[in-house]
Amino acid sequence: MRYIEPHAHMVSRVTDDYSAMVTAGCRAVCEPAFWAGFDRSSAQGFYDYFCQLTDYEPRRAAQFGLPHYSWLCLNPKESENTSLADEVLAMIPSFLDRPNVLGIGEIGLNKNSRNEIRVLEKHVDLAVRHKQMILVHTPHLEDKLKGTRLIVDLLKRNPGIDPGRVIIDHVEEHTVDIVLDAGFWAGITLYPQSKCSPSRAIDMVEIYGAQRLWLNCACDWGHSDPLAVPKTAIEMKKRGHGEAAIDRLIYGNPLRFLSQNPKFRVDKNDRETSSDAAQK
């Protein structure tokens, strides 16, 4: 088995997790910027975090032969502090040329407030100005439906947005069609309690098709499992899905989306077979 983990917060995981992911067949890991579990007190805190995501963490992953990529932003949970958000937004362009930065993310909404929407609009404008791909976080639980609708409307209003270069993450059964019908990619996050279970994720793949879907573990400091994607692949096999279909979903699809940024590369030994997986 081989797979790409397109969404994992490795800064909050232990080294053994890297070892387990590589052992399970992980070929690359992507880390969107997120909330630290507490509000940062200054833009300097974000500067240090962005250095961690673009310098230290790739070196830690490289010890296991695992390519590490990142996405940069201020998370919507910190968007009520609009002056801090403006300072962080002004800093992001200086990091965009770093070799492992794939785009702007995970931006989005948390409680669907006016300030969150203002900061989201600024992130989207920044991405459009700098021709960056976008990774979007949708809100939790009861706030997800409303937040997904607001996010999709906001993105559709921006003429600079190419939906094929935007992934809207954490979809569930009540939001997946909103995202796919608007032409965006959709991410399914596999969590032990909230978001989606492996069996429900496979249901959605069977119902909606796998053309613009990816699976991710979004592991962080909360209840989460860095091996959720390969475990779901094993469940797909039990459900009767063939090896090729599983490979397309957990390797080919993230490869196809992420390769829109030429910085994204997989190991040369995988490259020989990757074009098939990405095109089917």
Partner 1 sequence: MDRARITDLYFAEARSKLIDLAAFLDRVERSEGADDFRMKSLRAALKELGTPGPERTKKILLLLSDPTTEPIAQAGGKSASGAWPGY
Backbone angles phi, psi at 215, to 5 degrees: -110, 145
Instruction: Report the site for partner 1 in 249-278 (rule: CB under 8 A).
Output: none
16 forms part of the interface with partner 1 (CB under 8 A) = no
DSSP 140: P
Candidates 146, 231, 237, 265: give the one binding partner 1 (CB under 8 A): 146
DSSP H or E run through 235: helix 228-238
How far, CA to CA in Å, does 6 sit from each of 44, 249, 269?
27, 12, 20
* Nearer of residues 116 and 247 to partner 1, judged by Cβ: 116
121 forms part of the interface with partner 1 (CB under 8 A) = no
Torsion of the alpha carbons at 134, 60, 14 and 257, rounded to the nearest 10:
30
- Among 135, 246, 260, 126, residue whose Cα is nearest residue 189: 135
Residues touching partner 1, count (CB under 8 A): 31
Min dist. Cβ of residue 149 to partner 1 (A): 7
d(CA 260, CA 216): 18
Candidates 60, 149, 263, 265: give the one binding partner 1 (CB under 8 A): 149
3-state DSSP assignment of residue 257: helix
Length of the chain: 280
Instruction: Report the site for partner 1 in 198-227 (rule: CB under 8 A).
Output: 199-200, 203
d(CA 72, CA 95): 8
Min dist. Cβ of residue 163 to partner 1 (A): 21
Please measure the distance between the N-terminal and C-terminal CA atoms of the chain and give it in whole angstroms. Answer: 17
* Nearer of residues 30 and 168 to partner 1, judged by Cβ: 168
Min dist. Cβ of residue 150 to partner 1 (A): 7
12 forms part of the interface with partner 1 (CB under 8 A) = no
163 forms part of the interface with partner 1 (CB under 8 A) = no
Min dist. Cβ of residue 76 to partner 1 (A): 9
157 forms part of the interface with partner 1 (CB under 8 A) = no
Min dist. Cβ of residue 197 to partner 1 (A): 10
Candidates 112, 138, 224, 232: give the one binding partner 1 (CB under 8 A): 112
d(CA 206, CA 188): 13
170 forms part of the interface with partner 1 (CB under 8 A) = no
Q: CB neighbours of 84 closer than 8 A, spacing ≥ 6?
A: 40, 42, 43, 74, 78
d(CA 52, CA 33): 10
Candidates 5, 116, 169, 247: give the one binding partner 1 (CB under 8 A): 116
* Nearer of residues 60 and 237 to partner 1, judged by Cβ: 237
The residues that touch partner 1, with contacts defined as CB under 8 A, are 35, 77, 79-80, 110-117, 139-146, 149-150, 172-174, 199-200, 203, 238-240
